[in-house]
Amino acid sequence: MDGGSQRQTVLRLWRQAVIMPVVRTPRPEQAVAVARALHAGGLTVLEVAWNCAGAAEVLAELRRWPGVTVGAGTLLGTADAAAALRAGAQFLVSPIGSLDVLALAHAADAPCALGAATPSEVWRIHQAGSDLIKLFPIAAMGGPQLIKDLREPFGRLPWLVSGSVTLDNAATYLDLGAAVLALGGALLPKDAVAAGDWAQIRHRTEAWCRWLQARFAKAI
């Protein structure tokens, strides 16, 4: 794929962001408010969970925001993937290893992260060209130790880790080679969303961004 393609441009933005919040709320207006708080806090790459109410409308709204890269997640097949692309998704994320979803994404010049839980699944989707490899639910599968074990046969693959990622374990995942950290409850506590406490979400986002900036500053 040409390095100047849309797929590679979006993938570069995705990986540069490192932190990717997963927006999953009971109501569409909550999702938009959450996304606004996340963006105000400093994040520019957002995933909208496709199984939340009004996901297509939310995604289409976020696509209108300047400086935001938005994708769709929790895609369980090509029908979901096609609908997400029609709504404007710039990247696709699936918890399963559907090569049909991958093919659909690449045909639309969009990057895609497929899910894997075993060495065979990891290798299958890597060989097929999955741009990132989603390890979910990472905590239930062994946490950082899983990546340590997978690195023995596979080396450093572009991991997207998802599931109970917090400030306490994020650095360990990045040290082991994780490319992207998918964040749920660490950024979006259910009680804050239910209460409409968008300030809390913005403050949490700012704390994560400060942590990431400090980490990169130490690496220079």
Could you report the per-residue pLDDT of 82-134, keeping only the tens digit for each? 999 999 999 999 999 999 999 999 999 999 999 999 999 999 999 999 999 99
- Per-residue pLDDT tens digits for 154-177: 999 999 999 999 999 999 999 999
Judge whether residue 185 has pLDDT over 50. yes
- Per-residue pLDDT tens digits for 29-55: 999 999 999 999 999 999 999 999 999
Q: Let me know if domain 6-214 sits in CATH 3.20.20.70.
A: yes
Nearest to 59 by CA among 69, 166, 161, 14: 69
What is the pLDDT, as a whole number, of residue 216? 85
**Tokens 């060989």 sit at which residue?**
127
What is the pLDDT, as a whole number, of residue 3? 47
Residues identified as active-site: 47, 134
For the chain, the domains span 6-214
Secondary structure of the chain as H, E, C letters: CCCCCHHHHHHHHHHHHCEEEEECCCCHHHHHHHHHHHHHHCCCEEEEECCCCCHHHHHHHHHCCCCCEEEEECCCCHHHHHHHHHHCCCCEECCCCCHHHHHHHHHCCCCEEEEECCHHHHHHHHHHCCCEEEECCCCCCCCHHHHHHHHHHHCCCCEEEECCCCCCCHHHHHHCCEEEEEECCCCCCHHHHHHCCHHHHHHHHHHHHHHHHHHHHHHC
Nearest to 183 by CA among 199, 166, 206: 166
Q: What percent of the chain has pLDDT over 70?
A: 97
- Per-residue pLDDT tens digits for 13-23: 999 999 999 99
CA distance 42 to 38: 7
What is the pLDDT, as a whole number, of residue 218? 73
Judge whether residue 2 has pLDDT over 90. no
Over residues 177-196, the mean pLDDT reads 97
Judge whether residue 212 has pLDDT over 80. yes
pTM of the model: 0.95
